[in-house]
A = this chain, B = another copy of it.
């Protein structure tokens, strides 16, 4: 055994949660690295180096790449709303929700920093040397999401709830053995296609975050990098919408999938020798309604 091998053995993270958090950090980092740099290229290139569709596609490639990267480590949630759903479903212990979510926010923050350095010159040229949240030269929307003028708060909340519910409703069947699942090794491109669909159809009102970490991490970065507190205060403190609404939407979407589809699927024959654990396979034997009832009961008592 060489020194390097020994070094590796010693540095291998023993703690499972630490490993998983590291996986979520790297995964969300890659997701936002593609997503924000795609948005930066389209915006600072003034539509000459890709258009809106390119930015949507960049995010989708980010989802695919991030999932292949960390599915084996952490399950590739990449999104606190997804992690919350899995907690409600009993697939992720509640105590892991905060570490997972913070890791995702941290990964998104770090990716924003890299994109900022990579596009520093372009952002400065585009904004005329000023980092601003408003006006035709605003560059804050490269990182976090902001609402379109003329769209009300309720609409934006509804938009984020529906978008995230759609996400969960569409990805839960992909690995449900009682339904007609997608090939497991091709889950990343198929989930990425669903995310692409949501970006193309539900990002018009307020940017289609459907992911609190994807929004908060970059917003915190822009706060620290020079855009100022306006990134939080603007549009009447809009920032809380992509933080809260996706959480509600994700649980709602899981609930819909269970009540309207999964309950009524034929039972599977019991299989004994399942060796490989898929990222949300265990979930499908559980009932979100059951968990919700228990959650409500425990909250009430």
Point out residues on A near B: beta carbons under 8 Å.
2-5, 7-8, 11-13, 19, 22-23, 25-26, 30, 33-35, 37-38, 40-41, 44-45, 48-58, 61-62, 64-65, 68-73, 114, 117-122, 125, 148, 150-152, 155, 158-159, 162, 166, 169-170, 173-174, 176, 178-186, 188-190, 193-194, 196-198, 200-205, 256-257, 259-261, 263-266, 287, 289-291, 293-294
Contact = CB atoms under 8 A, between A and B. Distances in A.
Interface of A is mostly: helix
A264 B16 CA distance: 9
Contacts of A37: 201-202
Contacts of A122: 148, 150-151, 204-205
Contacts of A26: 256, 260-261
Given A4-B293, A121-B205, A293-B3, A261 B68 contact: no
A23 B261 CA distance: 7
A68 B173 contact: yes
B50 A290 contact: no
A91 B34 CA distance: 28
B260 A41 contact: no
B57 A200 contact: yes
Contact of A204 (B40, B120, B189): B40
A34 to B, nearest CB: 5
Contact of A5 (B155, B179, B290): B290
A66 B155 CA distance: 25
Contacts of A125: 150
B180 A2 contact: no
Given A69-B179, A118-B162, 12 more contacts: A26-B260, A38-B200, A41-B203, A49-B203, A50-B52, A51-B51, A68-B179, A68-B182, A118-B202, A121-B205, A125-B150, A182-B186
7 contacts: A4-B290, A13-B263, A23-B264, A37-B201, A72-B173, A73-B264, A122-B148
Contacts of A266: 72
A168 to B, nearest CB: 11
Closest 7 CB pairs of A and B: A61-B197, A4-B290, A38-B201, A72-B179, A37-B201, A41-B204, A65-B170
Contacts of A173: 68-69, 72
B181 A4 contact: no
B121 A289 contact: no
A166 to B, nearest CB: 6
Contacts of A62: 197
